[in-house]
């Protein structure tokens, strides 16, 4: 596997499958109460330049359960606040720890850190990609559906970091991927080109057309972190892009609903659909823990 975990595009289909199998195994051993502490003395530094609930807790709990420890850093309490460069931060921090996780805005900032880092770097979300989330999403689909064969995943909403990573992860896993997204808010053009050439992919503004026959319906917020100022105009642009009963009615019977969370009920998803699928959505959240343990073990193992 690649030294870092920055983007699912860097991961081969075999590597992705390996991580999923490993995650599912780690989960069942953990649930059975087995103690597995290969990371005695190992330290993960986590740099958050944006807010987080799940990513922080899953990495922190995961490192502790594996016998290691973690350090929580955020921009406002480090010298990044005083304009130390990301490169110098990488050169200093990576000499003292075994692994780094970063959540930031520009993907280029994550790449700049990774380029200078002495140790593996994990993407904990950028504006471009959220690979840890999609690993947990694929794990949840695999656990509940048994395999990806013949499945169709439909993402409804903003062509954001989640859409980008779901396109790559979904296609690499072997699913058909459909994106329902309004003009002006499309996913990354190069990723869509790649998806069209590699697998069964389509992106159209027509929500019901894209969701028809879907086995997994996925959505995410209309305004991501950093886009709070656009919230009003985005509410207008995405008004028809809601996962509601009408969408579920055209999806396959027994379709799953996934959401990376946090959710805004009444915007990208109705409260009814979210609550009807809460066991899937919150298991998806839990699976961040298990999926990321597989990444940690792979990068440090
Ligand atoms: N889904 C996700 O990454 O959640 P947090 O923003 O809470 O970390
Ligand atoms: N698209 C969202 C995902 C949050 C997990 C954001 O970037 O804010």
Give dist(CA 39, CA 31) in Å, integer. 19
Please confirm, yes or no, whether 133 is among the known catalytic residues.
Answer: yes
What is the predicted pLDDT for the residue at 2?
55
- With pLDDT > 90 as the criterion, what percentage of the chain qualifies? 99
Specify the residue for token string 């209309």: 222
Task: Give the ligand 2 atom nearest the CA of 52.
Answer: 5
Q: Taking CB atoms and a 6 Å cutoff, what residues make up the pocket around ligand 2?
A: 125, 160-162, 220-221, 224-225, 260
Q: Which residues contact 91 (CB under 8 A, 6 or more apart)?
A: 116, 118
What is the predicted pLDDT for the residue at 96?
98
Please confirm, yes or no, whether 7 is among the known catalytic residues.
Answer: no
Show contacts of 56-62: CB within 8 Å, 24+ apart: 58/288, 58/289, 58/292, 59/101, 59/124, 59/292, 61/289, 62/289, 62/292, 62/293, 62/296
What is the predicted pLDDT for the residue at 228?
96
Q: What is the pLDDT of residues 12-55, one digit of tens each?
A: 999 999 999 999 999 999 999 999 999 999 999 999 999 999 99
Mean pLDDT of 118-136: 98
Q: Catalytic one among 98, 137, 158, 220?
A: 220
Mean pLDDT of 157-168: 98
pTM, whole model, 2 decimals? 0.98
Give dist(CA 136, CA 161) in Å, integer. 15
Q: What is the pLDDT of residues 238-269, one digit of tens each?
A: 999 999 999 999 999 999 999 999 999 999 99
Using CA positions, which residue lies closest to atom 2 of ligand 2?
224
Q: Catalytic one among 54, 103, 259, 290?
A: 103
Using CA positions, which residue lies closest to atom 7 of ligand 1?
53
Return mean pLDDT, the chain: 97
Q: What are the tokens at 2?
A: 């690649």
Closest CA to 101 of 113, 83, 91: 113
Please confirm, yes or no, whether 11 is among the known catalytic residues.
Answer: no
Please confirm, yes or no, whether 130 is among the known catalytic residues.
Answer: yes
Compute, in angstroms, the gap from residue 93 CA to the centroid of ligand 2: 26
What is the predicted pLDDT for the residue at 99?
98
**Predicted confidence (pLDDT) at residue 1 exceeds the cutoff of 50:** no
Which DSSP string do the residues of 79-104 spell out, in sequence order?
GGGGT--HHHHHHHHTTT-SEEEEE-
202 Cα distance to chain centroid: 20
Q: Taking CB atoms and a 6 Å cutoff, what residues make up the pocket around ligand 1?
A: 52-55, 125, 133, 260-261
Q: Catalytic one among 11, 288, 290, 292?
A: 288
Q: How far apart are the first and last CA of the chain?
A: 11
Give dist(CA 62, CA 177) in Å, integer. 30
- Which residue(s) pair with 67 in the sheet? none
Q: What are the tokens at 161?
A: 């970091």
């Amino acid at each position: 596997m690649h030294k870092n975990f920055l983007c699912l595009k860097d991961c081969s289909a075999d590597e992705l499958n390996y991580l999923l199998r490993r995650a599912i195994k780690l989960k069942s051993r953990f649930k059975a109460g087995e103690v597995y502490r290969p990371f005695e003395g190992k330290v993960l530094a986590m740099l958050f330049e944006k807010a987080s609930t799940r990513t922080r807790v899953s990495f922190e709990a995961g490192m502790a359960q594996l016998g290691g420890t973690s350090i929580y850093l955020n921009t406002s309490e480090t010298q990044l606040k005083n304009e130390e460069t990301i490169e110098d931060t990488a050169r200093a921090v990576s000499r003292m720890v075994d692994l780094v996780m970063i959540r930031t805005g520009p993907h280029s900032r994550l790449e700049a850190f990774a380029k200078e880092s002495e140790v593996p770097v994990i993407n904990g979300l950028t504006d471009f990609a959220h690979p840890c989330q999609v690993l947990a999403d694929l794990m949840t689909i695999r656990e509940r559906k048994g395999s990806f064969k013949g499945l169709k995943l439909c993402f409804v909403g903003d062509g954001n970091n989640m859409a980008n990573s779901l396109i790559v992860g979904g296609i690499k896993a072997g699913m058909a991927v459909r994106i329902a997204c309004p003009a002006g808010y499309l996913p990354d053009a190069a990723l869509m080109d790649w998806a069209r050439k590699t697998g069964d992919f389509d992106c159209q503004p027509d929500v019901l057309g894209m969701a028809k026959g879907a086995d997994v319906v996925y959505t995410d917020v209309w305004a991501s972190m950093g886009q709070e100022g656009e919230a009003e105009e985005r509410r207008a642009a995405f008004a028809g892009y809601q996962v509601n009963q009408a969408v579920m009615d055209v999806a396959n019977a027994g379709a799953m609903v996934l959401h990376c969370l946090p959710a805004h009920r009444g915007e990208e998803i109705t409260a009814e659909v979210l609550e009807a699928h809460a066991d899937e959505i919150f298991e998806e959240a839990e699976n961040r823990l298990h999926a990321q343990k597989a990444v940690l073990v792979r990068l440090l193992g």
